[in-house]
């Protein structure tokens, strides 16, 4: 009887103890949602980074609610390799994906991508618009994906030609078009995203929203052009003879006899700037619609927001247009991250980061194990304290063996032929003076060279030829 009573008492005591345990010990913590906003070809011409002519109130609003990075850089200054690197977690030199003509999927068959990793860990993973390069989407990575928003989010009628390939100067395409916002593809993508923010989901949500603008053609409704009168347009800072101290390889990259020569001859440089600014503002309005929907939803307090651009853009600096280069304008790209309970509103981080950080950082924020293959630094410490000590540089790769290392002070470029460029951003933010040939900087170059990627995998046969042929307008 004594043993029986002792057993009963022990059972009761165990039950009482378990009953008083907090629910979190028995139930998994609620996973945060992720709103993943991708912008195409957006350089640093945004209000929160200090560009006085830009009209980006919605990007500025998001920056005021999270951490904005002033020194964020792409993994590659081309759409396809930049996006492939971000979603696979493998740098271009590791995967061999260097250009728009290379399908990243056969080179990464066993790689668990960022969206697939979330899908495999209980997330409902939805996307629309441009996340990876449009031609190379891997369908199984997503629970559902719409390259173009479904019919219910599309306008009933479309007037005119959104692409408008006949306007502009040579390969730089721009002109106002006679469409309403509602008739633009990016508007439909925003509508699709809004609908899913408003919907109820049984699983945590990874929602990717990819805007094509301000990718060329810079063709948006006239009202956006009217916001930027031509007589108020300012050209970007340039320097006569800027290419004189570049190695031959760098001059070849700049292609001064191409787009820039055509723009100078046309006399329409300011019109091109106007069109780019107009297209940025159109995109910003669509971002605003998405942010408004998040604010009005039941997800607002449990959603991580990440907004990034795949690379920057030249508008005549270094006698160069487009991306396709390793200088500041082509490689710097906006990055904003807002994490409820982690980031403080309106904080600014001046540390160097690159987009390879997004995969490992989102894993850390969502309590997912980072796959072993993933490169890049976890920047959660910078989200918690933007002024934290940080020694990791940003690395950008153009083609095989062409790399740039960016620290807070220096940009060091080494091309595949061994030629070099070195810029001191403390005194030369426009990168007008190449210091690479000066003997007093030999030790600086040597230290920066240690940070260059060691992986330089060969791309598919004909990669360089494909790159020259297919990178145009992508």
Residue 79 annotated to the active site: yes
Length of the chain: 474
215: its two tokens: 């990718």
Catalytic residue selected from 133, 196, 212, 314: 133
User: Which residue among 79, 209, 349, 366 is the active-site one?
Assistant: 79
- What is the rounded distance in angstroms from the CA atom of residue 212 to the CA atom of residue 283? 8
Give the integer Cα–Cα distance in Å for 349 and 394. Answer: 14
d(CA 260, CA 269): 9
Give yes or no for a contact between 75 and 82, defined as CB atoms under 8 angstroms apart. Answer: yes
Give the tokens for residue 231.
Answer: 């007589």
| Dist. CA 392–CA 427, nearest whole Å | 21
Pairing status of strand 33-39 against strand 321-322? unpaired
Tell me the Ramachandran region of residue 122: left when phi exceeds 0, alpha when psi lies from -120 to 50, beta otherwise. Answer: left
| Known active-site residue 133 | yes
Output the CA–CA distances (angstroms, integers) from residue 296 to 33, 95, 301, 322, 406, in the order listed: 15, 41, 11, 37, 39
CA distances to 20, 290, 331, 401 from 355, in Å: 45, 22, 11, 19
Helix axis angle, 358-365 to 79-88, nearest 10°: 30
**What DSSP designation does 22 have?**
-
Element (H, E) at 124: strand 124-129
Phi then psi for residue 472, to 5 deg, are -60, 125
> How far apart are the two ends of the chain, measured CA to CA in Å?
84
Active site residues: 79, 133
């Amino acid at each position: 009887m004594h043993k029986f009573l002792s057993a009963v008492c022990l059972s009761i005591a165990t039950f009482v103890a378990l009953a008083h345990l907090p629910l979190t010990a028995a139930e998994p913590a609620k996973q945060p949602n992720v709103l993943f906003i991708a912008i195409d070809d957006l350089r640093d011409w945004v209000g929160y980074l200090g560009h006085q002519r830009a009209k980006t109130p919605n990007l500025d609003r998001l920056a005021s609610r999270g951490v904005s990075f002033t020194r964020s850089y792409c993994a590659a200054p081309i759409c396809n390799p930049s996006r492939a690197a971000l979603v696979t977690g493998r740098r271009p030199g590791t995967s061999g994906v260097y250009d728009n003509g290379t399908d990243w999927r056969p080179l990464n068959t066993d790689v668990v991508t960022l969206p697939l990793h979330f899908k495999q860990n209980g997330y409902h993973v939805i996307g629309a618009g441009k996340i990876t390069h449009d031609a190379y989407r891997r369908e199984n990575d997503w629970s559902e994906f719409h390259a173009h928003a479904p019919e219910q989010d599309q306008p009933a009628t479309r007037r005119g030609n959104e692409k408008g390939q006949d306007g502009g100067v040579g390969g730089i395409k721009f002109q106002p078009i006679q469409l309403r916002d509602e008739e633009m593809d990016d508007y439909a993508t925003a509508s699709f995203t809004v609908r899913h923010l408003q919907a109820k989901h049984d699983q945590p949500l990874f929602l990717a929203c990819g805007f094509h603008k301000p990718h060329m053609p810079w063709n948006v409704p006239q009202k956006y052009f009217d916001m930027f009168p031509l007589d108020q347009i300012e050209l970007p800072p340039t320097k006569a003879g800027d290419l004189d101290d570049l190695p031959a390889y760098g001059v070849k990259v700049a292609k001064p006899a191409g787009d820039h020569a055509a723009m100078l001859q046309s006399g329409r440089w300011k019109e091109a700037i106007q069109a780019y600014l107009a297209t940025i503002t159109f995109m910003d309005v669509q971002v605003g619609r998405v942010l408004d929907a998040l604010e009005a939803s039941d997800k607002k307090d449990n959603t991580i927001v990440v907004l990034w651009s795949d690379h920057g853009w030249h508008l005549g600096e270094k006698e160069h247009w487009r991306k396709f280069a390793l200088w500041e304008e082509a490689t710097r790209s906006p990055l904003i991250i807002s994490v409820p309970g982690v980031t403080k509103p309106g904080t600014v981080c001046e540390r160097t980061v690159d987009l390879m950080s997004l995969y490992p950082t989102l894993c850390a924020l969502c309590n997912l194990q980072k796959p072993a293959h993933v490169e890049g630094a976890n920047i959660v410490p910078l989200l918690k304290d933007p002024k934290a000590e940080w020694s990791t540089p940003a690395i950008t790769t153009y083609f095989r063996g062409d790399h740039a290392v960016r620290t807070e002070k220096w940009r060091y470029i080494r091309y595949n032929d061994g030629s070099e460029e070195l810029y001191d951003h403390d005194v030369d933010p426009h990168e007008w003076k190449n210091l690479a040939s000066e003997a007093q900087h030999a030790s600086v170059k040597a230290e920066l060279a240690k940070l260059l990627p060691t992986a330089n995998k060969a791309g598919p046969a004909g990669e360089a030829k494909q790159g020259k042929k297919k990178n145009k307008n992508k």
